[in-house]
């Protein structure tokens, strides 16, 4: 059905124009800001273009930039791997006959729909060294108090909260995948006498591949962007222990220094990394799931 | 013992272990919420004593947040922002979704995936230009600015969700209506809309949940008048010695609506979480 009247424009244009106005235009503005010396304390007319100086600053002078880059990537890799492994385990756990399954699964939704900043503050209470409930429970097993949010452990604690929040997300996606697997190949391999482990490795995992890719990439992108949980739990501290990339941008641009130009340059770096990941995700979605519809 | 009995016995034990693991997963998922609820009905002294599990509940914290802390204003702000951004996104996005679902044209998929890529934008990249622009034109700390900024993730989300729902409806239904003399628009209103209504409802609820929970953008773009509920946690961070009971009471008030909404759309959850990429 080709339509020569371009009728589809009337349906698409309102949304597309809105998105161009509220996303493309500000993004161009961000790129411009990344090449200026603007900071919040100066008048707008005083700002001027300074070339790539902001990027030079980030690369050669700002040690915290490299630190935030490093721990952000580490944060992403670690949380995504753990969330995938645990999520797959939970999906398999639920992928059998259980009484009241729907009810049990509805509890899994709680971590990911609950307001992240609020629940991260509750975690902050639970992780308190002196009166946190986690250390209390550990003390029942005579385990010594852990300083969860101290310099050594803070990043691990933020990771733990992220894993708590998003493992159910991975589990639900993979569970949906498991439920939609075709039956025939399984009947065939059971006849051939394959062991459960072989079936899982050679059949289930390959069939789940599109879902696995989507879950992993969505999680990777979101964990690189993370701001709310970090803000609630540690605000980047102690010191720079949990200063992930978004937190560093916040510090540069708003908190102490007001260097909007440098913060914009850093935001551009984050944007480029996320755009690369997004393109990989979209390519896989395009190849894998969309065409089957 | 016969081998068969041995086998059923082992399977029973295995099932019990697996059930216990499920119970453990459920407890871990629910516990922080339960702890928040317990904290919200404790007195100030009790909140810093984790060994108290049974106590006389108090509603003092709830009274405090509504009387001393203007909770109504923040709830009101959240509702205004969430409502309008959802209405606009669903209205615009559903039409765009129809355009993508029912017409063939050049670079259609490129446009669709470009739209989806906007959903992935890091808030930090969005917030700096909006903060500056908002400052220049005096829109900082207004509902309007937040409503507009939230469109940037709600419209792409709606387009992708609704495209899936519309494509689920056979074209023949619409074509039959055209044969009967309906215009395309009439057919949408009379045939398509009643059929996608559950999808519209589900998509709206997802928009509501993600806008209600949004923190990063609201945190930078509001300061007092338009503050939404998630940003109120900053009050509890700045004060020396956190008032945990009141903080938890705010948390319960803020999260109960979200949980109810989430239960309503549970059926579409995976679809929503993956922007319609995986239907279950």
**Residue B122 is encoded by which pair of tokens?**
């890091």
CA distance B189 to chain A (A): 14
ipTM score: 0.89
Residue B57 has pLDDT above 60, yes or no: yes
Q: Are A261 and A33 in contact, with CB atoms under 8 Å apart?
A: yes
Q: Please report the pLDDT score of residue A111 as a whole number.
A: 93
Computed over its alpha carbons, how large is the radius of gyration of chain B?
24
Q: Please report the pLDDT score of residue B239 as a whole number.
A: 56
Q: Which of A89, A101, A241 is nearest to A171 (CA)?
A: A89
Place of tokens 């933020």: A158
Q: Please report the pLDDT score of residue A290 as a whole number.
A: 46
Spatial separation of the C-alpha atoms in residues A33 and A41, rounded to whole Å: 15
Q: Please report the pLDDT score of residue A8 as a whole number.
A: 81
Global confidence as pTM? 0.90
Say which residues have a Cβ less than 8 Å from residue B90's Cβ, sequence separation at least 6: B158, B162, B200, B203, B204, B207
Residues in chain B within 8 Å Cβ distance of A277: 120
Q: Is B103 close to A3, i.e. CB distance below 8 A?
A: yes
Kindly state whether A237 is in contact with chain B, defined as any CB-CB distance less than 8 angstroms: no
CA distance A188 to chain B (A): 24
User: CA-nearest residue of chain A to B92?
Assistant: A15
Q: Please report the pLDDT score of residue A291 as a whole number.
A: 45
Spatial separation of the C-alpha atoms in residues A260 and A249, rounded to whole Å: 9
What are residue A192's phi and psi, to 5 degrees? Answer: -70, -5
- The shortest CB-CB distance from A227 to any of B29, B100, B123 is to B123
Cis amide prior to A238 (ω within 30 degrees): yes
Residue B147 has pLDDT above 90, yes or no: yes
Place of tokens 């459920």: B26
Q: How remote is the C-alpha of A151 from its chain's centroid?
A: 23
Residues 121 to 160 of A: which have CB under 8 A from any B CB?
A: 121-123, 125-126, 128, 130-133, 135-136
Q: Are A122 and B35 in contact, with CB atoms under 8 Å apart?
A: yes
Q: Please report the pLDDT score of residue B94 as a whole number.
A: 94
Residues 249 to 288 of A: which have CB under 8 A from any B CB?
A: 249-250, 253-254, 260, 263-264, 267-268, 270-271, 274-275, 277-279, 281-282, 285-286
Q: Are A84 and A216 in contact, with CB atoms under 8 Å apart?
A: yes
Residue B2 has pLDDT above 80, yes or no: no
Length of chain A: 293
Q: Please report the pLDDT score of residue A14 as a whole number.
A: 92
Q: Please report the pLDDT score of residue A227 as a whole number.
A: 93
CA distance A60 to chain B (A): 22
B221-241 in b/e burial notation, b at 16+ Cβ within 10 A? bbeeebbbbbbbbbbbeeeee
Summary mean pLDDT of chain B: 88
**Residue B117 is encoded by which pair of tokens?**
């890529």
Q: Please report the pLDDT score of residue A131 as a whole number.
A: 86
- Residue ranges of alpha helices (H) inside A180-257 are 184-191, 196-199, 205-225, 228-233, 245-250
Residue B216 has pLDDT above 60, yes or no: yes
Torsion of CA A146, A122, B272, B266, to 10 degrees: 110
- The shortest CB-CB distance from A122 to any of B219, B248, B274 is to B248
Q: Is B128 close to A12, i.e. CB distance below 8 A?
A: no
**Residue A158 is encoded by which pair of tokens?**
């933020």
Spatial separation of the C-alpha atoms in residues A196 and B74, rounded to whole Å: 54
CATH of A66-291, one of 1.10.10.10, 3.40.50.720, 1.10.3720.10, 3.40.190.10: 1.10.3720.10
**Residue B205 is encoded by which pair of tokens?**
């609820």
The stretch B106-131 carries a mean pLDDT of 88
Residue B72: C-alpha distances to residues A119, B64, B244, B264 (Å): 20, 12, 19, 25
Question: Cβ-count burial of B133 within 10 angstroms (0-12 exposed, 13-18 middle, 19+ buried)?
Answer: middle
Tell me if residue A192 falls in helix, strand or coil.
coil
Place B37 in a pLDDT band, splitting at 50, 70 and 90: very high
Residue B184 has pLDDT above 90, yes or no: no
Write out pLDDT tens, residues A21-64. Answer: 999 999 999 999 888 888 888 878 888 888 888 888 888 888 88
Residues 65 to 104 of A: which have CB under 8 A from any B CB?
A: 90, 93-94, 96, 98, 102, 104
SS3 content of chain B, % helix, strand, coil (to 5): 75, 0, 20
Residue B242 has pLDDT above 90, yes or no: no
| Through-space distance between the first and last CA atoms of chain B, rounded to whole angstroms | 44
Q: Please report the pLDDT score of residue B238 as a whole number.
A: 60
Could you please report the per-residue DSSP string of B126-137? HHHHHHHHHHHT
Residue B36 has pLDDT above 90, yes or no: yes
Place B280 in a pLDDT band, splitting at 50, 70 and 90: low
Weakly modelled stretches of chain A, pLDDT under 70: 1-5, 288-293
- The shortest CB-CB distance from B230 to any of A115, A125, A131 is to A115
Greater pLDDT, A289 or B257: B257
Report domain extents, chain A: 66-291
What are residue A36's DSSP bridge partners?
A: A49
Tell me the percentage of chain B whose pLDDT exceeds 70.
96
Q: Which of B256, B236, B252, B257 is nearest to B69 (CA)?
A: B236
Say which residues have a Cβ less than 8 Å from residue A254's Cβ, sequence separation at least 6: A40, A263, B220
């Amino acid at each position: 059905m080709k339509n020569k009247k371009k009728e589809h424009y009337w349906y698409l244009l309102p949304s597309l124009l809105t998105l161009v106005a509220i996303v493309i235009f500000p993004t161009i503005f961000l790129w411009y800001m990344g090449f200026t010396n603007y900071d919040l304390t100066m008048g707008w007319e005083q700002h001027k273009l300074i070339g790539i100086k902001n990027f030079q600053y980030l690369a050669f002078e700002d040690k915290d930039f490299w630190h935030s880059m490093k721990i952000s990537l580490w944060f992403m890799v670690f949380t995504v791997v753990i969330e995938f492994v645990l999520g797959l385990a939970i999906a398999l756990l639920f992928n059998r006959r259980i009484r009241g399954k729907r009810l049990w699964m509805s509890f899994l939704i709680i971590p990911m729909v609950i307001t992240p900043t609020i629940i991260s503050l509750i975690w902050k209470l639970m992780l308190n060294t002196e009166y946190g409930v986690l250390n209390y429970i550990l003390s029942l097993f005579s385990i010594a108090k852990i300083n969860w949010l101290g310099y050594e452990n803070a990043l691990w604690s933020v990771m733990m909260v992220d894993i708590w929040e998003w493992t159910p997300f991975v589990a639900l996606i993979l569970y949906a995948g498991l439920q939609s697997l075709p039956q025939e190949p399984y009947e065939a391999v059971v006849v051939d006498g394959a062991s459960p482990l072989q079936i899982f490795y050679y059949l289930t995992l390959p069939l789940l591949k599109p879902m696995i890719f989507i879950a992993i990439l969505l999680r990777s992108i979101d964990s690189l962007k993370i701001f709310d949980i970090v803000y609630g739990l540690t605000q980047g501290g102690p010191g720079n222990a949990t200063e992930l990339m978004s937190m560093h941008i916040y510090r540069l641009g708003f908190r102490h220094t007001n260097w909007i130009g440098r913060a914009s340059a850093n935001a551009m770096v984050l944007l480029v990394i996320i755009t690369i990941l997004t393109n990989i995700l979209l390519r896989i979605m395009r190849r894998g799931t969309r065409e089957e519809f | 013992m016969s081998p068969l009995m041995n086998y059923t016995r082992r399977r029973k034990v295995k099932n019990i272990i697996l059930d216990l693991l499920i119970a453990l997963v459920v407890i871990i998922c629910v516990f922080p919420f339960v702890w928040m609820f317990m904290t919200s009905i404790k007195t100030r002294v009790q909140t810093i004593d984790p060994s108290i599990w049974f106590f006389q509940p108090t509603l003092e914290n709830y009274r405090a947040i509504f009387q001393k802390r203007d909770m109504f204003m923040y709830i009101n702000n959240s509702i205004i922002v969430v409502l309008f951004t959802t209405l606009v996104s669903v209205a615009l996005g559903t039409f765009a979704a129809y355009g993508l679902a029912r017409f063939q044209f050049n670079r259609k998929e490129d446009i669709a995936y470009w739209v989806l890529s906007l959903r992935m934008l890091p808030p930090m990249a969005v917030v700096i230009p909006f903060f500056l622009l908002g400052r220049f034109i005096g829109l900082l700390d207004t509902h309007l600015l937040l409503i507009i900024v939230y469109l940037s993730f709600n419209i792409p989300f709606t387009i992708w969700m609704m495209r899936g729902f519309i494509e689920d409806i056979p074209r023949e239904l619409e074509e039959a209506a055209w044969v009967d003399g309906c215009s395309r628009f009439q057919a949408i209103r009379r045939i398509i809309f009643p059929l996608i209504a559950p999808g519209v409802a589900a998509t709206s609820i997802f928009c509501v949940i993600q806008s209600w929970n949004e923190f990063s953008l609201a945190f930078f773009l509001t300061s007092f008048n338009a503050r939404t509920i998630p940003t109120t946690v900053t009050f509890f961070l700045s004060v020396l010695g956190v008032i945990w009971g009141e903080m938890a009471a705010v948390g319960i008030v803020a999260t109960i609506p979200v949980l109810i909404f989430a239960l309503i759309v549970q059926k579409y959850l995976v679809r929503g979480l993956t922007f319609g990429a995986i239907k279950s």
